[in-house]
Structure 1
Amino acid sequence: MSKPILYYDDVSPPVRSVLLTLAALDINEKIDLKWIDLFSAAHRNPDYIQINPLHTVPVLEHDDLVLTDSHAILVYLCDAYGQGTSFSLADHKKRAKVLNRLCFNNSIFFQRDAELMRKIFRDKLNDISAHLKPVTEAIDYIELYLSKTKFIACDELTVADFSIVSTLSTLESVCPIERSRWPKVKAWYDDLQKLPYYRKANQVGLDKLRTKLRSILTAVPEQM
């Protein structure tokens, strides 16, 4: 069996959730990385589209298995490499809780982030203050989640936290996480930034994205 291949660009929040998972599971050496430069439109290369017709990243290719959604990739990595670790999803109730939060990110939180980023990058929108309500509402939901559990899905760190924090940290670039409105989100976010692998797996790519954002935006709200 060959090594899995991860097609990635770390400016992408979903990619960064996978990189966080690889680091948490300590399996970076077991995965081959192939960079797909989004800002150079490498994801639209015909060869890449043969692998993923959706022309998105990340993609995990493992022999005849091709996964084109980050949330599916996270679950696969937990199943393939997480047994015997705290990231295992063998317990069916824990698995359901994690999947529930991954579905929230997939269907609501990341979609709202992606829509806002499309407006910025494609429409060259430089004043986003009138477009933040869907995002702030989604963060309100996360605040409610964290009022019930220490982490996003349960009382221990899971891949659901990586999925949410990669989205949240991206949005923080244009929507500051105010402690007065979201005290539990802010405390949780601060804790995740202290993880020993957070900077390399998430912050490095995030800084690249923020550089691009700064080249477009002229008005970033200081507070909600």
Structure 2
Amino acid sequence: MIRLYGHELSGNSYKARLLLSLLELDYEWMKVDLLAGAHKKPEFLALNPFGQVPVLVDEDTAIADAQAILVYLARQYGGEEWLPIAAEPLSRVVRWLSITAGEIRQGPESARLYHLFKATNINLERAIQRSEFILTQINNHLADREWLECGRSTIADIATFPYIALAPDGEISLDSYPNILAWIERIKQLPSFTGMPGIETAAAVG
């Protein structure tokens, strides 16, 4: 039995929920009340000493960190569909996992933390600058392709999608990035897609 520990407003928790849904895997959702400090309690720290969500527990295996969970689920249950095995395409997918934890975290994710959760330790001006930089890069990258890599949806798309789609929560407009807006809609049309607060499920096509 798979258990996923997370919070419904966490974009990182959502990444794991989304891939679980796309893989059509059954799992038990274990809400961690971040506002009540549940992520700092001994029982949760036993799963992840960093005190962060999400954490995925698959039988006796516990995996912390959203990107690590995506890699685990893709390789364990998705074959090569979501995570290529060959070195060169694999390296390109992994690069986007790094961008997710770097530029996207410093940009749209930080702006969302500032506005939605009143995080006072965020440099908003820097977050806006980083957002404009990475959104421009991704919009340009998507100018001649439908997916980030491999000509199909991979965990590169799943890792980067939530905090880009949630950018308006951080008062970062996506109106100037038409290729990103089209990509967001493509992801929403994937079979078994599920949303979260701020990311609604797309209307059925046809």
TM range (shorter): 0.7 to 0.9
Work out the CA distance in 1 between the residues paired with 2:43 and 2:63.
16
Work out the CA distance in 2 between the residues paired with 1:51 and 1:23.
23
Task: State the partner residue of 1:170.
Answer: 166
For structure 2, the residue ranges without an aligned partner over 5 or more in a row are 200-206
Give a deviation string over 1:109-166, Cα, whole Å, max 9, x none: 12333432443323299xx688522212111111122135321223111111111111
Give a deviation string over 1:83-129, Cα, whole Å, max 9, x none: 2x63243333332221111111112212333432443323299xx68
Task: State the partner residue of 1:18.
Answer: 16
Shift of 1:48: 0.9
Work out the CA distance in 2 between the residues paired with 1:94 and 1:131.
30
Equivalent positions of 1:100-179 (< 5 A) are 100-120=95-115, 121-123=118-120, 132-173=128-169, 174-178=171-175
Alignment: residue pair count:
196
Task: State the partner residue of 1:182.
Answer: 177
Equivalent positions of 1:31-70 (< 5 A) are 31-70=27-66
Letter in 1 for 2:94: L
Contact 1:58–1:68, Cα closer than 8 Å, also in 2: yes
Identify the match of residue 69 of structure 2 among 52, 73, 78. 73
Work out the CA distance in 1 between the residues paired with 2:87 and 2:22.
21
Work out the CA distance in 2 between the residues paired with 1:71 and 1:80.
14
Question: Taking CA–CA contacts closer than 8 Å with sequence separation of 6 or more, which of the two structures ends up with the larger relative contact order?
Answer: 1
Letter in 2 for 1:34: M
Work out the CA distance in 1 between the residues paired with 2:109 and 2:192.
25
Work out the CA distance in 2 between the residues paired with 1:60 and 1:44.
17
Work out the CA distance in 1 between the residues paired with 2:57 and 2:112.
27
Work out the CA distance in 1 between the residues paired with 2:192 and 2:173.
23
Structure 1 vs Structure 2: percent identity of aligned residues? 21
Task: State the partner residue of 2:203.
Answer: none
Contact 1:146–1:152, Cα closer than 8 Å, also in 2: yes
The secondary structure found in structure 2 opposite 1:39 is helix
Q: CA RMSD in A?
A: 2.6
The secondary structure found in structure 2 opposite 1:172 is helix
The secondary structure found in structure 1 opposite 2:105 is helix
Q: Could you state the TM-score of these two structures normalised by the residue count of structure 2?
A: 0.82
Work out the CA distance in 1 between the residues paired with 2:114 and 2:91.
33
Q: Could you state the TM-score of these two structures normalised by the residue count of structure 1?
A: 0.76
Task: State the partner residue of 2:204.
Answer: none
For structure 1, the residue ranges without an aligned partner over 5 or more in a row are 208-224
The secondary structure found in structure 1 opposite 2:30 is strand
Change (3 A) 1:131 1:76: closer
